[in-house]
Amino acid sequence: MEWDENTQQLKPIALLRVQQLPHLPIRYVPVIFITQKAVAKLKPVDAPKLAENIARLLAQISAQHSLNPHEVQLDCDWTNGTRAVYFSLLSALKKTAFFKDKTLSCTIRLHQVKYAMKSGIPPVDRGLIMCYNVGNLKQPGAHNSILDASLTKDYLKNLGSYPLPVDVALPLYSWCLHFHEGRLVGILRDVAPDAVTQNPLFAQRKDNVYACRRDTLWQGYSFRTGDEVRVENPALQNLLEVARFTANAVRNDSLNLLFFHVDSLTLAKYSTHDLEAIYNAYH
């Protein structure tokens, strides 16, 4: 959901539209993403009305697809300044008729676990710990901002005492980051890591950093000589390390493991054995 300047209200900008869902024994968990800008514009007095609007929309979509979700999740990176209004929204959602006998969960960033006293505990039934994007994306050099096992474990050292049942999300995605003179230009959308690492246009400078050999236009992106591309993949050994750590730290009786994100291109980078090894760390 995003903030609409014209109506001065939150509005949905990307609704689920599916022609036909597969007839498979799959449990669907609708997820509502609310941008930081949107929640910053929201006032506590607006929370009950917004909650009713969200519940009504969920009911409509569920009816259209003959679904009765057992859980609904909100995804919002709240801050100290937006915590009160966001938590008010979560509390209001729990009171709507749609959420009777349903689980309300929300995403929780790593810093919100490490600094739980400061960040607050969201008034939900369950949390999803997002074990990725832990590093500094904009910082140049040979590091991995998607997944750093040591840094992730440091953020989660108090996970065992977190006062909510939690699930865990691990990253499978990768990306390539373009830097010019030490400044992040942007993410190279739809450019696979192999397209860089196996391309003679780029020379490996250090670990996962590759330098462009000449001024050029490549894949729709403009490069200058010396521009760097950092290729980031979550290494299997790091995924296993974080999986084993969180498996030992989580205290609830059951745990759902999520991979972000799952599509044919992403899954092609991992063998069935790799994914089973990560999954088995929780058993």
- The count of other CB atoms within 10 Å of the CB of residue 103 is 15
Q: Which residues contact 168 (CB under 8 A, 6 or more apart)?
A: 128, 129, 131, 243, 246, 250, 255, 256, 257, 258, 282
Residues 150-181 have pLDDT tens digits of 999 999 999 999 999 999 999 999 999 999 99
| DSSP type of residue 121 | -
The secondary structure element, H or E, covering residue 212 is: strand 209-212
> What pLDDT, on the 0 to 100 scale, is given for residue 3?
65
pLDDT under 70: residue ranges of the chain: 1-5, 7-11, 13-25
Domains parsed from the chain with CATH numbers: 2-173+233-280 (3.20.20.80), 177-232 (no CATH)
DSSP string, 231-257: EE---HHHHHHHHHHHHHH--SS---E
Q: Which residues contact 16 (CB under 8 A, 6 or more apart)?
A: 30, 61, 65
| Alpha-carbon distance values, 48 to 93, 153, 262 (Å) | 8, 37, 34
Residues 83-94 have pLDDT tens digits of 999 999 999 999
